[in-house]
Structure 1
Amino acid sequence: MTSVLRSDLVERLRVTGAIVSAPVEAAFRAVPREHFMPPGTAPQTAYGSENVVTKRDPAGTAISSVTAADVQAAMLEQADLRPGMSVLEVGSGGLNAALIAEIVGPGGRVVSVDIDPSVTARAAQMLAGAGYGDRVTVLTADGDDDVPGPFDAIIVTVGAWDIAPAWHRQLTAGGTLVVPLVMNGATRTIAFRRETDHLVSTSARVAGFVAMQGHGRHDDSLVDLGDGVTLRFDGSPPPGPLTGVLATGPVEAWSGVLFPDPMSWSDLYLWLAWQLPGFCRLTVGEGSPLDRHARLFPVGTVHERGLALIRVRPADRGVEFGALAFGRDAAPAAAVLVEQMRAWNRHARPAGEPSFGYWPAGSDRTTIPPDAAVLAKTHGLLTMRTRR
Structure 2
Amino acid sequence: MAPSPSSASATAQSADAAASLRNALTDKLVAAQWIRTPGIEAAFRRVPRHAFAPEADPVLAYADDVVGTRYNADGRATSSVSAPWLQADMLEVARLQPGHNVLEIGSGGYNAALAAELVGHHGSVTTVDIDPAITTRARRFLDETGYHHVRVVTADGAHIPRTLRPVGGFDAVIVTVETWDLPWTDLIADGGRLVVPLRIHGLVWSIAFTKCDGLLVSDTPWTVCGFVPMRGTGAHTAPLVQLRGGEINIRFEDGSPINTQALTAAFDGPKHQVRTGVTVGNQEPFDRLQLYLATTLPHAARLSIDPDRDTGIISPRPRTTWPAIVTLQDHSLARLAWEKAAEDGDSTTHEFITHGYGPTGSQLARLMAEQVQHFDRHHRAAGYPRLCAVPHARTAGRQPHGPHIEKRHVRLDFTWPTVPGGTA
Equivalent position of 1:35 in the other structure: 51
Greater shift in the superposed pair: 54-63 or 145-154: 54-63
Shift of 1:3: 2.4
CA contact (8 A) 1:300 1:337 kept: no
Q: 1:47 to 1:281 in 2, by over 3 A?
A: farther
Q: Residue type of the partner of 1:17? A: Q
Equivalent position of 1:360 in the other structure: 391
Cα distance between partner residues in 2 of 1:102 and 1:240: 53
Deviations 1:210-243 (A, max 9, x none): 2212222221110112354321112321223133
Cα distance between partner residues in 2 of 1:52 and 1:246: 43
Helix, strand or coil for the counterpart of 1:286?
coil
Cα distance between partner residues in 2 of 1:347 and 1:175: 32
1:309 correspondence with 2:323? no
Shift of 1:244: 4.7
Q: 1:248 to 1:369 in 2, by over 3 A?
A: closer
TM-score, length of structure 1 as denominator length? 0.91
Q: Residue type of the partner of 1:153? A: A
Equivalent position of 1:214 in the other structure: 232
Equivalent position of 1:293 in the other structure: 317
CA contact (8 A) 1:251 1:326 kept: yes
Equivalent position of 1:386 in the other structure: 416
The structure 2 residue matched to 1:229, chosen from 241, 248, 266, is: 248
Shift of 1:303: 3.2
Cα distance between partner residues in 2 of 1:344 and 1:89: 36
Equivalent position of 1:65 in the other structure: 80
Q: Residue type of the partner of 1:309? A: R
Cα distance between partner residues in 2 of 1:66 and 1:103: 19
Q: Residue type of the partner of 1:257? A: V
The structure 2 residue matched to 1:377, chosen from 404, 407, 410, is: 407
Q: Residue type of the partner of 1:87? A: V
Shift of 1:38: 5.5
Q: Residue type of the partner of 1:181? A: L
Greater shift in the superposed pair: 174-183 or 44-53: 44-53
Q: 1:213 to 1:291 in 2, by over 3 A?
A: farther
Greater shift in the superposed pair: 343-352 or 277-286: 277-286
CA contact (8 A) 1:359 1:365 kept: no
Helix, strand or coil for the counterpart of 1:237?
coil
Q: 1:367 to 1:361 in 2, by over 3 A?
A: closer
Cα distance between partner residues in 1 of 2:355 and 2:251: 18
Cα distance between partner residues in 1 of 2:81 and 2:322: 27
Q: 1:363 to 1:65 in 2, by over 3 A?
A: same
The structure 2 residue matched to 1:171, chosen from 188, 191, 198, is: 188
**CA RMSD of the aligned region, Å?**
2.3
CA contact (8 A) 1:199 1:357 kept: yes
Shift of 1:8: 2.0
Which structure has the larger Rg over C-alpha atoms? 2
1:260 correspondence with 2:291? no
CA contact (8 A) 1:294 1:309 kept: no
Greater shift in the superposed pair: 11-20 or 53-62: 53-62
The structure 1 residue matched to 2:157, chosen from 136, 139, 143, is: 143
Query: What is the total number of aligned residue pairs between the two structures?
Result: 383
TM-score, length of structure 2 as denominator length? 0.84
Cα distance between partner residues in 2 of 1:214 and 1:315: 46
Q: Residue type of the partner of 1:198? A: L
CA contact (8 A) 1:90 1:158 kept: yes
Q: 1:74 to 1:365 in 2, by over 3 A?
A: farther
Helix, strand or coil for the counterpart of 2:259?
coil
Cα distance between partner residues in 2 of 1:297 and 1:339: 22
1:338 correspondence with 2:369? yes
User: Could you list the runs of 5+ residues in structure 2 that have no partner in the other structure?
Assistant: 1-16, 343-347, 419-424
Equivalent position of 1:188 in the other structure: 205
Shift of 1:7: 1.7
Greater shift in the superposed pair: 155-164 or 244-253: 244-253
CA contact (8 A) 2:316 2:337 kept: no
Cα distance between partner residues in 2 of 1:349 and 1:153: 31
CA contact (8 A) 1:300 1:307 kept: no
Cα distance between partner residues in 2 of 1:179 and 1:49: 20
Equivalent position of 1:205 in the other structure: 223
Q: Residue type of the partner of 2:329? A: H
Cα distance between partner residues in 1 of 2:99 and 2:125: 10
Equivalent position of 1:111 in the other structure: 126
Shift of 1:245: 4.4
The structure 2 residue matched to 1:157, chosen from 176, 181, 189, is: 176
Deviations 1:235-283 (A, max 9, x none): 3212231335444444322111111232111111221222222222234
Q: 1:256 to 1:330 in 2, by over 3 A?
A: same
Helix, strand or coil for the counterpart of 1:243?
helix
